[in-house]
Structure 1
Amino acid sequence: MTPDRADPLETTETLAAFPARVTQARGETLEDVAFLSGAALCRLHVVLARVETPGTLLRDRLALRAAEACVAFSGRPERAADLRDAVHLLRPGDLPGPAGETALSWRRAVERPVSAAGMQRALPSLESTRLAAWLDTGSGAPVSRAARVFEAVLTEAPRAEVAALTLADAALARALGWDRVVPLLAPGLGRADLRRRGEDLRLACHRALAESAAEAVRLAGDLGRRTAHLSAVAPKLRAKGAGEAVAMFRTRDAVAASALPLPDRAARRLCDRLVDLGAVRELTGRETFRLYGV
């Protein structure tokens, strides 16, 4: 699926301004919500194709949101800040815990092109042949295909909600011609929706995608502005390795100073400098073990 050539006068920011007929409409029938989800997915498709959209960063941040939703579905108390800590402050040999495993699973799911092998890296407890069979379950329109994959996974493995949501998003991405998973279903679905089947499930998926795809477009516009500012201030940075550090901030939801390709003190100074320049934000509010992101 190749997007139509975008209007050169349009930007990701203007594309993020959805028509009121999409954002304010409240469809009740399957036909109504299919129109709304289709409109939102079409706009997102165009935004993802634009060169100024930081797609890798967008997917990483959406992966965090999907992980947060999945953790909430399981009844655990961890939220985005806890999941960032579990992933970015993990030391070699440490175990991330159940919530951290969910966050890592979603991050791995968005890192590589959609395939059974890529999905097994994200979901290592499942066999690649089984994953491939699930991915090929769906047929028809993209959202219907995703819903069928979701239902097929939970029919065979009723407690595998993370796998079901990941593979449903993978099926959606494949149907839309996206090379990587864009996490959309988990943030838009409610816990009760996980028990729906058949047409009720398709209706829930359309509603979820109408909301989450529109939110992804808005997030893309925000991240596009922020990464453009980061690129604009990059020439002011004099530290050796600053270019590699900027590249990391442009592709990751969060970065610890210790992960930057600089000595510890220089890395902390660079992060402070970027905060002063308004190019990145400190995400934790702590004095130690800080994380930074655009």
Structure 2
Amino acid sequence: MTYVADSFDTLPPMHAWVTSARAKAAEDVAFLSGAALSHLHLVVNREDVPQALLRARLALRAAEVCMTHLGRPERAGELRDAVGFLQPGDSPGPAGEVLLSWQKAVERPVSIKALHRSLPQVEAEQIATWLDAAGQGAPVARAAIVLSAVLEDRPRDLSSALLLADAALAQSLGWTHVVPLLGLGLKRADIRKTGSDLHVACHQAIRSAAIEAVREAASLSRRASKLREVVPKLRAKGAEDAVAQFLGCDALPPMVLTSLRSDRAARRFCDRLVDLGAVRELTGRDTFRLYGL
């Protein structure tokens, strides 16, 4: 059942004993991650949360964490630039490919077809084999099994392993879409762990990532509410369609707002939204700008 509310603030914040407790015993770590997941489950089923935007923002964070694990310097700004202005036939580069994989993974309901679309370098049959290997156990255990299985076959493909582990987690929780959690929370030293040590690390990662996801959902919900409030002040033809694009994407260049009359009109529209405090300019540049909530 979808949880509906008039305001995101009606959902109580995650309890302090979940967010601040310092657990060491495996059973305590598992209990806290379960509590965090339970709270996040409410969030990912709320209609007043911009779900597509939340997943897109978490996908950016997961790609950023992957860059850190791989020893690459790209962070959010560089990752957005790598994909924000792509034209047909352009190469996004290694960092851009990682971000595109995460973006595509969270866009559509989780399935083998959708995952293959996000990871075209991996055969669909292989993806199915990895996910089937997880069996029917507990969600975190299944995710850990998938992570280990992918890394065993593709030890250099860390991003794909984390992405598919999050897909296994989403499937076992009954979520319609991948929500990046292990991609956000697992530390580099955790990834090569095995057995119970890996399971504990996954629980810790899920707890910390779920806390971050809930906070991000609250922030984006407030920003989305502000954006919807200013719609009556926007007189540009195609404004409602353009606003809908902002509610589904992490960052947009004005040129993709095709419901507006021209690139110039799109730039003026974006700057108007900035003036109204409804969106932010994300690059700090005078040209080749990106906008988002």
State the distance in 2 between where 1:264 and 1:90 align: 16
Deviation at 1:12, TM superposition (A): 2.6
% of aligned pairs identical? 59
Query: Which amino acid in the other structure matches residue 66 of structure 1?
Result: A
SS of residue in 2 equivalent to 1:266: helix
Aligned counterpart, 1:240: 237
Deviation at 1:31, TM superposition (A): 0.6
Query: Which amino acid in the other structure matches residue 224 of structure 2?
Result: T
Deviation at 1:198, TM superposition (A): 0.9
For structure 1, the residue ranges without an aligned partner over 5 or more in a row are: none
Please report the RMSD computed on the Cα atoms of aligned residues, expressed in angstroms. 1.4
Deviation at 1:182, TM superposition (A): 0.3
Q: Deviations over 1:40-74 (max 9, x none)?
A: 11111001111101100000000000001111111
- Among 200, 212, 216, the alignment partner of 1:215 is 212
Query: Which amino acid in the other structure matches residue 291 of structure 1?
Result: L
Deviation at 1:13, TM superposition (A): 3.1
**TM-score, structure 1 normalization:** 0.96
Aligned counterpart, 1:103: 99
- Among 18, 24, 32, the alignment partner of 1:22 is 18
SS of residue in 2 equivalent to 1:253: coil
Aligned counterpart, 1:61: 57
Deviation at 1:136, TM superposition (A): 1.5
1:161 aligns with 2:161: no
State the distance in 2 between where 1:186 and 1:196 align: 15
Higher RCO, Cα 8 Å, sep 6+: 1
Q: Deviations over 1:95-124 (max 9, x none)?
A: 110000000010011111111111110110
The 5-angstrom pairing of residues 56-205 of structure 1 reads: 56-138=52-134, 139-205=136-202
Deviation at 1:231, TM superposition (A): 0.6
Aligned counterpart, 1:272: 271
Query: Which amino acid in the other structure matches residue 248 of structure 1?
Result: Q
State the distance in 1 between where 2:8 and 2:140 align: 24
State the distance in 2 between where 1:148 and 1:44 align: 22
Q: Deviations over 1:119-156 (max 9, x none)?
A: 11011011111100111221311111111111111112
Aligned counterpart, 2:255: 258
State the distance in 2 between where 1:201 and 1:15 align: 32
Deviation at 1:89, TM superposition (A): 1.4
State the distance in 2 between where 1:60 and 1:67 align: 11
State the distance in 2 between where 1:17 and 1:286 align: 36
Q: How many residues align structurally?
A: 290
Query: Which amino acid in the other structure matches residue 210 of structure 1?
Result: R
| Cα 1:288–1:168 shift into 2, 3 Å | same
Query: Which amino acid in the other structure matches residue 179 of structure 1?
Result: T
State the distance in 2 between where 1:179 and 1:69 align: 24
Deviation at 1:14, TM superposition (A): 4.8
Deviation at 1:16, TM superposition (A): 6.2
Judge conservation of contact 1:15–1:43 (CA < 8 Å) in 2: no
The 5-angstrom pairing of residues 11-50 of structure 1 reads: 11-15=7-11, 17-50=13-46
SS of residue in 1 equivalent to 2:133: coil
Query: Which amino acid in the other structure matches residue 190 of structure 1?
Result: K
Deviation at 1:80, TM superposition (A): 0.5
**TM-score, structure 2 normalization:** 0.96
State the distance in 1 between where 2:66 and 2:9 align: 29
Q: Deviations over 1:228-253 (max 9, x none)?
A: 11011011111111111100001100
Query: Which amino acid in the other structure matches residue 157 of structure 1?
Result: R
State the distance in 2 between where 1:101 and 1:27 align: 36
SS of residue in 2 equivalent to 1:67: helix
State the distance in 1 between where 2:195 and 2:282 align: 41
SS of residue in 1 equivalent to 2:203: helix
